[in-house]
């Protein structure tokens, strides 16, 4: 029975350690950042092909978070009216909704995808579903083919 | 002590140890299983109001005009314009979306669901680190519970009788699901 008591104690201590770890590292997500300098988001959006497949670090304001799974954020560019999607693997990193309006330093690989109008509509429909705005989604707002630029992320620090 | 006695003791005591985590994981499981129909982590409310159209020239002037017309307390911690017509104001627990030419405003409030949010985070291993190993231990505990549970009773109610039939029926559930949906 002593073994069971010791196991119960170990389990409780483990759970408490995990809780403390959550509290201490609440602002770090995924892998540690490895790059020294950040690339302006505007530079990536201006010339995406030159960044395709390359690892970048970006910095900016989090302006949107995936409501359903926390599996992506939108980061505002350094130039007006621009933002880029930072997508992470489902379940590996989960961004909380409270991250909106906070600054983030994030790293990942730039992905560029040319989509037909039909593919763009399908992706927009999926995004609307994740945002919970599927009922008001209007496919007519997508006029033609779209070049989708996003960062496939694996690490971020929310300030 | 016989192996059956060991099964009973382990089943009983691991069962006691696992009650808390089982309830947390099961309640969270129900919640996230239906995430297509609701948000299991947050209560999100959207309130719509109208203010006079904003025609100020610079972003600080626009922000000041919106804050004043909506009677918002304090300045937003950050702002963003996704396009020239739209302004977003970020507060601690809400985001204010303003359509500047029309003055249509949506105030979106996001509040984590108490307890359920934490349960979901633990269930989906949000914390990572040490929690990964706690969850591993719990999974091993469930395996032990399942195996020792087979041998708690003997006789016609045990694994060689009624218990055996019920165990077979239980094994069939995932097997049928695999056959119908995943094959």
In the prediction, which pLDDT does A20 show? 43
pLDDT averaged over every residue in chain B: 94
Q: Which residues of B touch A97 (CB under 8 A)?
A: 41-42, 44, 110, 112
Q: Which residues of B touch A83 (CB under 8 A)?
A: 80, 82
- H or E element, residue B110: strand B104-112
Residues 6+ apart with CB under 8 A from B85: B99, B100, B101
Put the strands of the sheet holding B94-99 in their side by side order: B42-50, B104-112, B94-99, B86-90, B78-83
Q: Is A140 on the interface with B (CB under 8 A)?
A: no
pLDDT per residue as tens digits for the range A77-130: 999 999 999 999 988 999 999 999 999 999 999 999 998 999 889 888 887 776
One DSSP character per residue, B129-165 reads: THHHHHHHHHHHHHHHHHHHHHTS--GGGSTTTHHHH
* CB-CB contact of A139 with A87 (8 Å): no
Q: Tell me the longest C-alpha to C-alpha distance in chain A.
A: 70
User: A8 pLDDT exceeds 70?
Assistant: no
* CB-CB contact of A100 with B95 (8 Å): yes
- C-alpha–C-alpha distance, residues B68 and B80, integer Å: 18
pLDDT per residue as tens digits for the range B4-43: 999 999 999 999 999 999 999 999 999 999 988 899 999 9
Indicate whether this complex's ipTM tops 0.85: no
One DSSP character per residue, A53-122 reads: T-EEEEEEEEEEE-TTT--EEEEE-SSTT-EEEEEE-TTT----GGGTTSEEEEEEEEEEEEE-HHHHHH
pLDDT per residue as tens digits for the range B78-94: 999 999 999 999 998 89
From the CA of A68, how many Å to the nearest CA of chain B? Answer: 6
In the prediction, which pLDDT does A10 show? 53
- C-alpha–C-alpha distance, residues A82 and A64, integer Å: 13
- C-alpha–C-alpha distance, residues A142 and A136, integer Å: 14
Q: Which residues of A touch B82 (CB under 8 A)?
A: 63, 81, 83
Q: What is the rounded average pLDDT of the residues B43-59? A: 90
pLDDT per residue as tens digits for the range B115-132: 999 999 999 998 888 999
- C-alpha–C-alpha distance, residues A107 and A60, integer Å: 12
- Quote the pTM value: 0.81
* CB-CB contact of A74 with A86 (8 Å): yes
Lowest mean pLDDT among A51-55, A137-141, B27-31: A137-141
Q: CB B110 to CB A83 under 8 A?
A: no
Q: How many CB atoms lie within 10 A of CB A117?
A: 13
Collapse the DSSP code of B59 into the 3-class scheme (helix H, G, I; strand E, B; otherwise coil) and give the result: helix
In the prediction, which pLDDT does A131 show? 66
Q: Is A15 on the interface with B (CB under 8 A)?
A: yes
């Amino acid at each position: 029975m002593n073994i069971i008591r010791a196991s119960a104690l170990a389990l409780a201590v483990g759970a408490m350690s995990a809780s403390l770890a959550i509290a201490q590292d609440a602002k770090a997500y995924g892998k540690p950042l490895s790059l020294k300098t950040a690339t302006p988001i505007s530079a990536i959006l201006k010339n995406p092909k030159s960044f395709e497949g390359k690892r970048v670090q970006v910095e900016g304001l989090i302006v949107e978070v995936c409501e359903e799974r926390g599996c992506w954020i939108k980061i505002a560019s350094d130039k007006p009216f621009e933002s880029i999607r930072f997508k992470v693997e489902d379940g590996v990193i989960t961004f909380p909704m409270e991250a909106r309006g906070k600054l983030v330093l994030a790293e990942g690989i730039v992905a560029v995808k040319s989509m037909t109008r039909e593919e763009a509509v399908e992706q927009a429909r999926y995004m609307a579903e994740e945002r919970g705005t599927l009922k008001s989604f209007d496919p007519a707002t997508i006029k033609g083919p779209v070049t989708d630029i996003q960062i496939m992320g694996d690490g971020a620090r929310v300030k | 002590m016989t192996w059956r006695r060991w099964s009973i003791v382990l089943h009983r005591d691991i069962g006691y140890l696992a009650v808390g985590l089982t309830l947390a994981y099961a309640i969270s499981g129900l919640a996230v299983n239906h995430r297509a129909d609701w948000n299991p982590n947050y209560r999100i409310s959207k309130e719509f109001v109208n203010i006079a159209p904003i025609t100020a020239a610079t972003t600080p002037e626009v922000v000041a005009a919106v804050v004043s017309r909506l009677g918002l307390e304090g300045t937003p911690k950050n702002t963003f314009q996704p396009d020239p017509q739209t302004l977003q104001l970020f507060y601690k627990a809400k985001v204010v979306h303003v359509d500047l030419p029309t003055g249509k405003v949506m105030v979106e409030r996001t509040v984590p669901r108490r307890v359920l949010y934490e349960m979901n985070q633990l269930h989906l291993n949000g914390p990572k680190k040490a929690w990964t190993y706690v969850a591993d231990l719990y999974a091993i505990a469930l395996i032990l519970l399942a195996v020792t549970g087979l041998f708690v009773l003997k006789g016609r109610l045990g694994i060689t009788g009624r218990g055996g039939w019920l165990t077979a029926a239980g094994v069939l559930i995932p097997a049928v699901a695999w056959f119908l949906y995943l094959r």
